[in-house]
Each structure stands twice: as structure tokens, then as C-alpha cells.
Amino acid sequence: MAHVQIQNLKKSYGAVQVIHDIDVGIDEGEFVALVGPSGCGKSTLLRMIAGLEDVTGGTIRLNDRVINDVAPKDRDIAMVFQSYALYPHMTVEENMGFALKLARVPQAEIKARVAEAAATLNLTEYLDRHPRQLSGGQRQRVAMGRSIVRSPSVFLFDEPLSNLDAKLRVRMRTEIKALHQRLGATSVYVTHDQIEAMTMADKIVVMRAGRIEQVGAPLELYDDPANVFVATFIGSPAINLLSGRYVERDGAGAVDLGHGVVMEAPQVGAEPGQPCLFGIRPEHLEIAESADAADFTVEVIEPTGSETIITGRIAGQEVQMSQRERTDLKPGDVLRLRPAPGQVRLFDAETEARLK
């Protein structure tokens, strides 16, 4: 069990800097998800923790010891690769026992520990097979098993589920989470799937272009995004962002969306008339016949079974809302919508930072 502290971490490839001054702490037993769009440096950060990439600047500490220059083999860190990287010339059993064999663990103990991990992962009947004789999901489990048998200080995962089909991905997601709850091992999990991050992680680190945008618990990021990027990255369907001007009305905040539509908003430290973005999640729009509701013209209706996503326009701007109940709405219908109390988030139109 271990904790990791990353300070001012930088990485450059030649003249190109891909990681800019990253600061993040990973507590003992915590499951941290690194999310962000493709190319934002998630893998690079993970590989630096593993010791597979040189550190350009800053420090990485494992249990208060600086490990910048420690060889990967001496870090006691295990990693599950996106491609699984199973050794093709070894059986499942040899794959899983390889690290222990290198550590000169007695043969009998290796066998016992591999058998135990294989039982956990339902791999017992495949121990004698070679990786090429396994399905994608089984390979994925072998890759997990190879890490588990070592009981390392830290687990690293680089998009371990992205090669699986949708159904299996959901099942493995649950299995990995259950495994983490049982082993309680410190884990860093890279994904660009925000649902994976939301469902599995204790803490999410949102990255963009080599910088951290926000760190927090999944629901914290959902409820309290620091900027437009985080707000749109977390949550599906994505948050609605309507442009308008901040106004004050009866001593309370509001946003003028144009076309004579003014919607209630939290009171924030902004000048009246300042351009801003009015953020409201689709699930937080409710149908109401009150004075503070706005006209919503229905354009597209998408039933998913569990909910219905309705796309339309408020004040000429595209808005999505989602609804639990079945509906018999048709395109062209007009509803009156208002935000659920306390669910509006305002952002500066220029800096895209949250207005509070």
C-alpha cells in the first residue's frame, strides 16, 4: 500500500512540452482516474509514474521517497497496458508468475499465488493456454492477474478496457471496481471515457493539453465544475451552454438570453451586462407552467428506453433536456421549461472560468 505525490512535473520531447507543471496527490488505497481528450498527456503522465519515460522536471514521490531516477523494476509498480502486452511465448500461468520468478520467489509459492489470482479472475481453466488462444476479455483478465499476483504498491491502468466490446467493458468495469474494493490497492486509471471515470474512481483528474483542469470526487466535478471544459467533459448528454448577458433582477442574479428570455441564475460577482454562458444539465430542466419558465420548441425526440432525450431551442439556441417519463411529444410542440432550483452554473464567456 502506498501513496504517490507528484509535484511540478514537466515533460518535454525535444522542444515540445507535453506535460506542464502537474501537481497531484494520490492517497493510500485511492482509485484515481485520469481523464481528458486524446493527446492531452494521460499516458505520458502514467508512464512517468511507471518509470518508462524520463522526467524533464519536478518530482514523483512514492511513500515520500523521490523515485524520478529509480528503474521501473525497483519501483514496485504494476501496469496494465491497453494492448495487454502479454508475453506471447509464455502460457497464462508463466505470464502471471513471471514477476515472481524474477523476484526469486520459491516455485511452490508462485504456483499458489498464481492459482489464487486465477481463481479470483475465473482463469483457472486457461492456465496452460498461450495468449493467442484466449479471447479479448480473457486476455484482459490475464493482464490484470499478472499485476495482482505481485501485490504491488501501485497499480497503473492505461485504458485497459478500450479494446473490449461495449457489453464486456461494462462488466469488466464492475469487476475492476469490485477487485479494487477488495484489495484496496492504490490505483491510477487512464481513460477517455468519462462514464468509466465517474463510476470507478474515488477521485478524477481532468487534464487538457498537458495541464490539470480540475481534481475532485466524481460528483464534485459534476456538481461544481471549475470551467466550461470540465463541465462539458463530465456528464452525458453534455451540459447545455447558452450564451447571454448577466443581469440583476430584484436583487437576484439572472441571465438575459436574448429574444426577451430572461432566466433565473445564481448571484455571482459579475458586472451587469457582462457576456456569460448559462450552463444547465439536460436532466435539470423541468417542465413547468410558471412565470420563470421559457418557451422550448421541440425539434428531435430520442427515446433510449430508460429516458428520453429531447432536443429543441430556447431563445433560438439549441438545448437538450432528458426526461424519465415516456412522452408523446412531436417535433414542433412548444413546452415551458425552467431549471431545477440551484442547478444553474454560470461561466465567463471569455475565459470560460466558472463565475461564483
Ligand X SMILES: Nc1ncnc2c1ncn2[C@@H]1O[C@H](COP(=O)(O)OP(=O)(O)OP(=O)(O)O)[C@@H](O)[C@H]1O
Binding site for Mg ion (CB under 5 A): 43
Q: Which residues in this chain contact ligand X in the complex, by CB under 6 A?
A: 13, 18, 36, 38-44, 192
Provide, rounded to whole angstroms, the least separation between the CB of residue 70 and ligand X: 21
Stretch that binds other proteins, among 36-44, 80-88, 230-238, 324-332 (CB under 8 A): 80-88
Check residue 79 for interaction with other proteins (CB under 8 A).
yes
Q: Which is nearer to ligand X, 36 or 339 (CB)?
A: 36
Residue whose C-beta lies closest to ligand X:
43
Provide, rounded to whole angstroms, the least separation between the CB of residue 26 and other proteins: 17
Q: Which is nearer to Mg ion, 126 or 233 (CB)?
A: 233
Q: Which is nearer to Mg ion, 43 or 322 (CB)?
A: 43
| Cα-only R_g, the chain | 25
- CA dist., res. 77 & res. 339, Å (int): 47
- CA dist., res. 222 & res. 233, Å (int): 9
- CA dist., res. 140 & res. 104, Å (int): 26
Closest CA relative to residue 131, chosen from 81, 91, 165 = 91
Q: Which is nearer to ligand X, 204 or 344 (CB)?
A: 204
Provide, rounded to whole angstroms, the least separation between the CB of residue 47 and other proteins: 8
Q: Which is nearer to other proteins, 73 or 356 (CB)?
A: 73
- Contact in structure between 150 and 78 (CB atoms under 8 Å): yes
| Binding-site member from 28, 87, 300, 318 for other proteins (CB under 8 A) | 87
Contact partner at residue 203 from other proteins, ligand X, Mg ion, none, CB < 5 to 8 Å by partner kind: none
Stretch that binds other proteins, among 97-105, 188-196, 227-235, 285-293 (CB under 8 A): 97-105
Q: Which is nearer to other proteins, 127 or 143 (CB)?
A: 143
- DSSP 8-class letter at 351: T
Check residue 85 for interaction with other proteins (CB under 8 A).
yes
Provide, rounded to whole angstroms, the least separation between the CB of residue 49 and other proteins: 11
Contact partner at residue 249 from ligand X, other proteins, Mg ion, none, CB < 5 to 8 Å by partner kind: none
Residue 355 bridge partners (DSSP) = 346
Pairing of the two strands 16-26 and 4-13: antiparallel
Helix (H, G, I), strand (E, B) or coil at 321: strand
Amino acid at 42: K
Segment holding 172, helix H or strand E: helix 166-183
| Binding-site member from 15, 89, 269, 328 for other proteins (CB under 8 A) | 89
Helix (H, G, I), strand (E, B) or coil at 114: helix
CA 76 from centroid of its chain's CA atoms: 25
Check residue 88 for interaction with other proteins (CB under 8 A).
yes
- Contact in structure between 9 and 211 (CB atoms under 8 Å): no
- CA dist., res. 265 & res. 280, Å (int): 10
- CA dist., res. 133 & res. 181, Å (int): 30
Binding site for other proteins (CB under 8 A): 50-52, 71-73, 75, 77-79, 81, 83, 85, 87-89, 98-99, 102-103, 146, 150
